[in-house]
C-alpha cells in the first residue's frame, strides 16, 4: 500500500501531522477517523516510506523498539496495546509514523513479521527473518533480546570505526592546510629574498621551489581536479557495478584499515548467522541473510559459494575452510560444534571471537595510525623547513666575520 503524508485535526482542534499507509485517500480518511482525527490535506509518498533527516530511524531507535518489544512479549501484554503505548511515548515523528503504520497493518490482520517487512528501509531482512522465526518458534522475547544486543554492538563498532577514520582525516586536513600555506605564501617570499643575495641554491631547495611554483600556477586546476575526483569517484562507486566491485576490493587491500574492514564484515556476518540460527532459521536461510548484510561483494560472493557447497551436502566448517576467509581457530570452533551437535554454541563462540577481534583491531589500528601519520607528516614538514633553511645557512656561512 502507498504511504500518505497527512495533516489533520484532533477532537480538541490541535493540528496533527504524520504519515500513514492506506489503499487510497478514502481509506486514509477512514483510518484517521478511527484514530479520532479529521483529515485536512494529504500527499502521496512512495510505497516504501523511509523517514529522512532528523526523523530518520536510527539504530538507537531500533534498540529502544527491541527492548520494549522484549518486555511486552515476555510479560504477555497484547501486541497492539504494547505497540500503541510505544507509539504514544515516541518523540521522533518518523518512527512514530512507522509504528502507526505497523499498528494499522496488525489491526488489518497481518502478523508482526509481515508488518515489519513493509518497511525494508527501517527493518532490514535480518530483522524481519529473525522476528518471523521467533513467531514460528514462540521465542519472540529471546529474538528481540538478541536483536537488541546485536544492534548495540553494531552501534559500538560504528562509533569506533568513525573514530578510526575521522582522526587521520582531521590530521591530514590540518597539516595539508599548513603545507599549502608554506608552499603558496612563506616559501616564495623567503627563497626569493635568498635568491636575490646570490646564494647558490641546493637541489632540495630547487625541488621545493619547483613544487611551490607548480602549486601557485596550477592551483585552480588542482582544485577542480580534486573536486572532480571527490564527486566523481563516489558516484562511480555507488552507481556503477564495476566501481562498487573495485571499492570492495580496495577496502580489503588498504594497509592497517584493510584487515579491520575484513574483520568488521566477517563479524557482522557471524553475528547474523549465530543470531538467526539460534532463532530457529535454517543454516541456508541464515547464510543468505548473512550474505545480504556482509556489505562487501567479495566476501558476500564467498559466503554464497559456501552456501552452495552446504546445499550440495558438504559440512559448514569444510565449506568455510575452502574459502580461506576465516582463521583456523574459527574453523576449529565450527568443526567442534558440528561434531558435538552444539553448532549454536560454536556460532556464539565465533561471534564472541570476532566481536572482540574487531574492537581490539580498531583500538590497535588507532595506536598504529597515530605515530605513523605523525612520522609521515613530520617528515614532509621537516623536508620543507630543511629545504628553506639550507640556503640561509649557506648565506650565513659566507658572511665575512
d(CA 224, CA 232): 11
Instruction: Say whether both 246 and 360 belong to one domain.
Output: yes
pLDDT at residue number 130: 79
Q: Are residues 168 and 270 in the same domain?
A: yes
Interval 319-348: pLDDT, tens: 888 777 777 877 888 888 888 877 777 877
More confident residue, 45 or 354: 354
CB distance 114 to 105 below 8 Å = yes
Residues 270 and 139 in one domain: no
| 3-state class (DSSP) for residue 8 | strand
- Listed in sequence order, the residues at least 6 apart from 370 whose beta carbon sits closer than 8 Å to its beta carbon are 167
Say yes or no: 94 and 210 in one domain.
Answer: no
Strand partners, 20: 4
Q: Convert the pLDDT of each residue in 56-80 to its tens digit.
A: 778 888 888 899 988 888 888 888 8
Are 87 and 35 spatial neighbours (Cβ–Cβ below 8 Å)? Answer: no
Give the pLDDT confidence score for residue 146 in this predicted structure.
82
Residue 401 has pLDDT above 60, yes or no: no
Domain that holds residue 364: 164-400
Asked if residue 390 and residue 275 are part of one domain, the reply reads yes
For the domain that residue 257 is a member of, what is the CATH number?
A: 1.20.81.30
| pLDDT score recorded for residue 232 | 85
Rounded to whole angstroms, how far apart are CA atoms 168 and 131? Answer: 40
- The count of C-alpha atoms lying within 13 angstroms of the C-alpha of 59, restricted to the half-sphere facing its C-beta, is 13
pLDDT of residue 21: 67
* C-alpha distance from residue 249 to each of 51, 264, 299 (Å): 32, 15, 10
Cβ distance 146 to 348 under 8 Å?
no
pLDDT tens, residue by residue, 125-150 = 778 877 887 887 777 888 888 888 88
In tens, the pLDDT along 268-293 reads: 777 777 777 777 777 888 788 777 77
Distance between CA atoms of residues 348 and 299, nearest Å: 20
How many Å apart are CA 125 and CA 117, to the nearest integer?
8
Query: Model-level pTM?
Result: 0.65
In this structure, which long-range contacts are made by residues 181-185, counting pairs with CB atoms below 8 Å and at least 24 apart in sequence?
182/381, 182/384, 183/208, 183/211, 183/212, 183/215, 183/216, 183/384, 184/212, 184/215, 184/216, 184/219
Same domain, 223 and 338: yes
Whether 102 and 83 have beta carbons less than 8 Å apart is answered as yes
Helix (H) or strand (E) holding 221: helix 219-239
Q: Structurally, how many domains does the chain consist of? A: 3
Task: Examine the pLDDT at 200 and tell me if it is beyond 60.
Answer: yes
Residue range 29-57: mean pLDDT, rounded: 71
pLDDT at site 50? 58
157 domain-assigned = no
Amino acid at each position: 500500500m502507498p504511504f500518505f503524508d497527512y495533516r489533520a485535526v484532533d477532537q480538541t482542534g490541535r493540528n496533527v501531522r504524520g504519515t500513514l499507509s492506506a489503499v487510497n485517500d478514502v481509506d486514509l480518511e477512514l483510518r484517521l477517523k478511527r484514530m479520532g482525527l479529521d483529515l485536512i490535506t494529504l500527499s502521496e509518498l512512495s510505497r516504501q516510506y523511509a523517514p529522512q533527516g532528523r526523523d530518520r530511524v536510527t539504530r538507537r531507535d531500533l534498540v529502544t523498539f527491541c527492548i520494549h518489544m522484549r518486555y511486552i512479549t515476555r510479560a504477555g501484554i497484547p501486541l497492539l496495546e504494547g505497540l500503541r503505548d510505544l507509539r504514544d511515548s515516541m518523540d521522533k515523528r518518523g518512527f512514530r509514523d512507522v509504528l502507526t503504520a505497523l499498528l494499522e497493518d496488525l489491526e488489518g490482520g497481518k502478523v508482526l513479521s509481515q508488518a515489519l517487512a513493509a518497511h525494508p528501509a527501517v527493518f532490514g531482512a535480518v530483522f524481519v527473518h529473525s522476528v518471523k522465526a521467533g513467531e514460528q518458534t514462540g521465542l519472540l522475547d529471546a529474538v528481540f533480546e538478541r536483536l537488541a544486543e546485536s544492534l548495540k554492538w553494531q552501534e559500538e563498532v560504528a562509533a569506533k570505526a568513525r573514530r578510526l577514520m575521522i582522526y587521520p582525516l582531521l590530521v591530514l586536513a590540518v597539516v595539508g592546510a599548513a603545507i599549502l600555506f608554506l608552499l603558496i605564501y612563506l616559501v616564495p617570499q623567503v627563497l626569493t629574498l635568498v635568491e636575490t643575495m646570490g646564494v647558490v641554491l641546493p637541489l632540495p631547495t630547487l625541488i621545493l621551489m619547483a613544487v611551490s611554483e607548480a602549486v601557485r600556477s596550477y592551483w585552480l586546476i588542482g582544485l577542480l581536479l580534486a573536486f572532480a575526483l571527490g564527486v566523481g569517484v563516489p558516484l562511480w562507486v555507488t552507481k556503477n557495478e564495476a566501481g562498487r566491485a573495485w571499492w570492495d576490493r580496495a577496502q580489503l587491500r588498504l594497509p592497517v584499515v584493510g584487515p579491520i574492514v575484513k574483520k568488521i564484515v566477517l563479524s557482522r556476518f557471524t553475528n547474523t548467522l549465530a543470531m538467526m540460527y539460534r532463532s530457529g532459521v535454517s543454516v541456508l536461510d541464515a547464510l543468505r541473510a548473512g550474505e545480504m548484510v556482509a556489505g562487501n561483494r567479495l566476501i558476500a560472493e564467498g559466503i554464497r559459494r559456501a552456501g552452495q557447497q552446504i546445499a550440495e551436502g558438504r559440512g559448514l566448517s569444510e565449506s568455510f575452510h575452502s574459502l580461506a576467509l576465516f582463521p583456523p581457530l574459527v574453523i576449529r570452533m565450527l568443526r567442534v560444534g558440528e561434531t558435538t551437535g552444539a553448532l549454536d554454541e560454536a556460532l556464539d563462540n565465533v561471534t564472541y571471537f570476532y566481536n572482540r577481534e574487531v574492537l581490539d583491531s580498531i583500538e590497535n589500528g588507532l595506536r598504529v595510525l597515530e605515530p605513523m601519520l605523525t612520522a609521515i607528516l613530520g617528515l614532509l614538514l621537516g623536508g620543507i623547513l630543511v629545504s628553506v633553511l639550507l640556503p640561509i645557512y649557506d648565506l650565513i656561512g659566507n658572511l665575512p666575520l
